């Protein structure tokens, strides 16, 4: 099998690349990544020396970066995206470009250069908008409510349109909130773990009662591999951890895990347009044989331990550009 993994140096992409490289040593893997602030070459150290691994520095929005990599590729797995909601509120430019134009560019290049290739496109549960009651099935209407989720919805609607009009071979995956090793320390769980380790306050938005459906990143990788093997082309699949937790509970668990006083949790001004709850019905994927492997609390403990043991990985990421973002975004909140 020959894979092109776009965005393979980011959080979910690098976890997937390492997982596939371990499991299928005979598969050829090309990672294309533009190495934005979240794309880290060091996330791929484990696979760098491997014979059938190639890293290419490039941008999915540039056809000349994508096209030469496509001949002979069986699957393109597209993780490349701008993903952090708060940054999309501050400026949505890069989101529209990468999450919409990038997807279009990949598909156009594939139609010309790998007509036999298939696309596994990563979308998000956020395309449904907030889900106050019940769990979203794949047939629910898309109702994104922030610039990030709207861009992701735009990208995946283009994929659907190519499936419909060009008989384009693609599967769309909509995972819920991923967490685990190598997540950039701006997302909720790694931000709270690393802030707690640095003895900084933990800025909890609004009343802290928002709910996310947590999915351990390795379970997500297993699901994606399963979709390549058994998924139906042209279909959409939810990947939900089925582990709904209020943010405040997750924050308290992190404090407990690290022996930090819960007073470190500070309720701060809410994120504008904050979606109250996400929850997915993953029955379609479960019917292929997938289920999360361990309870959320166990995976959270493992994740906390990873950040405790990998200070050298995250510490530098919290300086420089991130520090400026933190000052701008949290300055008035904290
Ligand atoms: P986040 O990791 O940004 O993911 P999502 O895309 O689901 O918003 O945030 C997860 C939840 O944590 C979300 O409800 C917002 C909340 N949150 C805070 O309360 N404080 C923070 O500083 C951050 C980054 C997130």
CATH classification at residue 172 = 3.40.50.720
Is the distance from CB of 123 to CB of 174 less than 8 angstroms?
yes
pLDDT in tens, 107-129: 999 999 999 999 999 999 999 99
Asked whether residue 101 carries a pLDDT value surpassing 90, the answer given is yes
- Other Cβ atoms closer than 10 A to 282: 27
Q: Is residue 170, in this structure, part of any structural domain at all?
A: yes
Name the DSSP class of 139: T
Best CA proximity match to 313, nearest among 177, 188, 197: 197
CA separation for the pair 95, 18 (Å, rounded): 26
Q: Is residue 22, in this structure, part of any structural domain at all?
A: yes
> What is the pLDDT at residue 320?
87
Nearest CA to ligand 1 atom 14: 210
CA separation for the pair 294, 179 (Å, rounded): 13
121 — phi, psi (to 5°)? -105, 130
Asked whether residue 38 carries a pLDDT value surpassing 90, the answer given is yes
> What is the pLDDT at residue 51?
85
Q: Is residue 263, in this structure, part of any structural domain at all?
A: no
Residue 187 alpha carbon to ligand 1 centre in Å: 6
Q: Is residue 94, in this structure, part of any structural domain at all?
A: yes
> What is the pLDDT at residue 15?
98
> What is the pLDDT at residue 63?
98
Give the DSSP letter string of 272-308: TT---B--B--HHHHTTT---SS-HHHHHHHHHHHHH
Q: Are strands 243-246 and 211-216 parallel, antiparallel or unpaired?
A: antiparallel
> What is the pLDDT at residue 241?
98
Nearest CA to ligand 1 atom 25: 188
Tokens representing 50 are: 């491997």
Is the distance from CB of 261 to CB of 134 less than 8 angstroms?
no
pTM: 0.98
Range of the domain at 234: 2-179+215-239
CA separation for the pair 63, 70 (Å, rounded): 11
Q: Is residue 268, in this structure, part of any structural domain at all?
A: no
CA separation for the pair 211, 208 (Å, rounded): 9
Nearest CA to ligand 1 atom 23: 188
Q: Is residue 205, in this structure, part of any structural domain at all?
A: no
Asked whether residue 5 carries a pLDDT value surpassing 90, the answer given is yes
Q: Are strands 243-246 and 28-33 parallel, antiparallel or unpaired?
A: unpaired
Residue 172 alpha carbon to ligand 1 centre in Å: 24
- Per the structure, the count of domains in the chain is 1
pLDDT in tens, 45-92: 999 999 899 999 999 999 999 999 999 999 999 999 999 999 999 999
Q: Specify the ligand 1 atom closest to the Cα of 86.
A: 3
Ligand 1 binding pocket, CB closer than 6 Å: 85, 177, 187-188, 191, 203-205, 210, 212, 247
The C-alpha R_g of the chain, in whole angstroms, comes to: 19
Q: Is residue 55, in this structure, part of any structural domain at all?
A: yes
CA separation for the pair 113, 103 (Å, rounded): 15
pLDDT in tens, 298-329: 999 999 999 999 999 999 999 989 999 999 99
Q: Among 175, 189, 205, 211, name the best residue to mutate to test ligand 1's pocket (greatest count of ligand atoms within 8 A of Cβ).
A: 205
> What is the pLDDT at residue 323?
96
Tokens representing 4 are: 């092109």
Q: Is residue 333, in this structure, part of any structural domain at all?
A: no
Q: What sign does the CA torsion over 197, 324, 37, 172 have?
A: positive
């Amino acid at each position: 099998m020959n894979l092109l993994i776009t965005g393979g140096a980011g959080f979910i992409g690098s976890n997937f690349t390492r997982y596939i490289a371990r499991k299928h040593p005979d598969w050829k893997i090309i990672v294309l990544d533009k190495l934005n602030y979240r794309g880290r070459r060091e996330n791929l150290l484990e696979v760098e020396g491997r014979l059938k691994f190639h890293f290419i520095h490039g941008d999915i929005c540039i056809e000349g970066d994508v096209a030469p990599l496509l001949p002979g590729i069986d699957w393109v797995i597209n993780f490349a995206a701008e993903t952090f909601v708060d940054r999309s509120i501050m400026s949505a430019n890069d989101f529209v470009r990468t999450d919409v134009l990038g997807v279009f560019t990949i598909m156009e290049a594939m139609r010309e250069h790998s007509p036999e290739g298939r696309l596994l496109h990563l979308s998000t549960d956020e395309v449904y908008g907030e889900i106050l009651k019940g769990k979203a099935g794949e047939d629910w209407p898309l109702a994104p409510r922030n610039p990030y989720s709207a861009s992701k919805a735009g990208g995946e609607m283009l994929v659907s349109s190519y499936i419909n009009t060009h008989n384009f071979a693609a599967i769309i995956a909509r995972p819920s909130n991923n967490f685990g090793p190598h997540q950039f320390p701006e997302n909720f769980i790694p931000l709270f773990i690393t802030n707690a380790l640095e003895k900084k306050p933990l800025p909890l938005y609004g009343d802290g009662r928002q709910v996310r459906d947590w999915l351990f990143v390795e379970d997500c990788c297993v699901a994606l591999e399963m979709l390549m093997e058994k998924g139906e082309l042209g279909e959409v699949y939810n990947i939900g951890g089925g582990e709904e937790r209020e943010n405040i509970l997750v924050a308290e668990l992190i404090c407990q895990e690290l022996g930090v006083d819960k007073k470190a949790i500070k309720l701060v001004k809410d994120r504008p347009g904050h979606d109250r709850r996400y929850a997915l019905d993953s029955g379609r994927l479960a019917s292929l044989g997938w289920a999360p492997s361990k309870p959320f609390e166990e995976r959270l403990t493992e994740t906390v331990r990873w950040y405790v043991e990998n200070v050298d990985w995250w510490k530098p990421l919290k300086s420089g550009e991130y520090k400026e973002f933190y000052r701008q975004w949290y300055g008035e909140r904290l």
